[in-house]
Amino acid sequence: MLAAYAAHLRAERHASPHTIRGYLADLRQFLAFAGAPGAVRPDGIRHWLRTLDGTAERASIARKLAAVRGLFRFLADQGRLAADPTLGIATPKTCRKLPAHLTLDDIDRLLATPRGDTLAGLRDRALLEVLYSSGLRVSELTGLDWERVDEEAGLLRVLGKGRKERVVPVGRPALRALAAYRARCAEAGLAVAGGPVFRNARGGRLTSRSVARSMERYVLASGTATKATPHALRHTFATHLLGAGADLRAIQELLGHASLSTTQRYTHVDLRRLMEAYDRAHPRA
């Protein structure tokens, strides 16, 4: 049953391997508690949610419920269940944290940290520049191939969530960093007409975990106070655009958000910045 659902997530929902692993772990936990799907009733699901309250973050509980909902919807659509017991089950309200982001000074220090003209140094400089310049998810960055980089037009074609393709602009500093890295790849005998842009030391595609480890090292070296992850650069990209007057709908398209409500988190970040400026500057604040 779970194998069939995993195949459905992979083929029909275009879910990432990371998402599928997380969903399957949540579902195994739920089924160990609730028993066979055919015996599950709405009251049983509510009881399960109450047992999680206080032991897991609200966001984690909401994610676990989403996994359970997906399984039962799949089973009902397949005719394996007469009814979906998750219908009418309310999703726990979550407290959305403001996205972490870096200041312009932080960004300048971080982007200047990778030094030297080694293949690894040029790769990491290009990697950081592209993340900040385009707001890509780290999975989109590691999945980027050279054939999807249009250096002349300054555009990247990326595959986002659900295998949806979008075109995003990339700035001149990032393009220069990519060109320098590409030239060094060619000197090293690595394919630059196709294949992955960002490679590890063995020539394979760089993983999201490797990107996170590299960035952690550069954040420490740069002296940046904010705990900056690859996703924090995506938040920084959006926050700086909004602060400079970019339209929220345009930012939504650039980030590849399916819903504008997801992008609207950045209005709260900018509002906080404005309130801090008001408190500092206004004589009657």
pLDDT at 210: 93
Rg, Å, the chain Cα set: 22
Provide the Cα torsion 204, 210, 214, 220; round to 10°. Answer: -170
pLDDT at 74: 92
pLDDT at 73: 92
Angle at 197 between CA 192 and CA 201, to 5 degrees: 95
Q: Between 74 and 193, whose confidence is greater?
A: 74
Long-range Cβ pairs for the range 169-174 (8 Å, 24+): 169/134, 169/254, 170/130, 170/133, 170/134, 171/129, 171/133, 173/111, 173/129, 173/133, 174/126, 174/129, 174/130, 174/132, 174/133, 174/134
For residue 267, give Cα distances in angstroms to 94, 229, 285.
Answer: 18, 21, 21
| Helix H or strand E encompassing 215 | helix 208-222
From the candidate CATH numbers 2.70.98.60, 1.10.443.10, 1.10.3720.10, 3.40.50.2300, the one assigned to the domain spanning 104-279: 1.10.443.10
Strand partners, 230: none
In this model, does residue 83 exceed pLDDT 70?
yes
Q: Are 64 and 26 in contact (CB under 8 A)?
A: yes
pLDDT at 156: 92
Q: Looking at the annotation, which residues are catalytic?
A: 137, 161, 231, 234, 257, 266
How much is the average pLDDT of 184-210? 89
Domain 2-77: give its CATH architecture: Orthogonal Bundle (1.10)
pLDDT at 179: 94
How much is the average pLDDT of 179-201? 90
In this model, does residue 285 exceed pLDDT 60?
no
Q: Parse the chain into domains and list their residue ranges.
A: 2-77, 104-279
Q: Are 178 and 126 in contact (CB under 8 A)?
A: yes
Per residue in 227-284, pLDDT (tens digit) is 788 888 988 888 888 888 888 888 888 888 877 776 777 666 655 665 666 577 656 5
Q: How confident is the model at residue 100 (pLDDT cuts 50, 70, 90)?
A: confident
Q: How confident is the model at residue 72 (pLDDT cuts 50, 70, 90)?
A: very high
Q: Between 170 and 194, whose confidence is greater?
A: 170
Output the pTM of the full model: 0.67
Q: Are 45 and 37 in contact (CB under 8 A)?
A: no
pLDDT at 172: 93
**CATH topology agreement for domains 2-77 and 104-279:** no
In this model, does residue 133 exceed pLDDT 60?
yes
Per residue in 200-222, pLDDT (tens digit) is 988 899 999 999 999 999 998 98
Q: Are 83 and 41 in contact (CB under 8 A)?
A: no
Mean pLDDT of the chain: 86
User: What gap in Å lies between CA 274 and CA 263, rounded to an integer?
Assistant: 18
Per residue in 11-52, pLDDT (tens digit) is 888 787 888 899 999 999 999 998 998 889 999 999 998 998
CB environment 272-281: b (16+ within 10 A), e (fewer): eeeeeeeeee
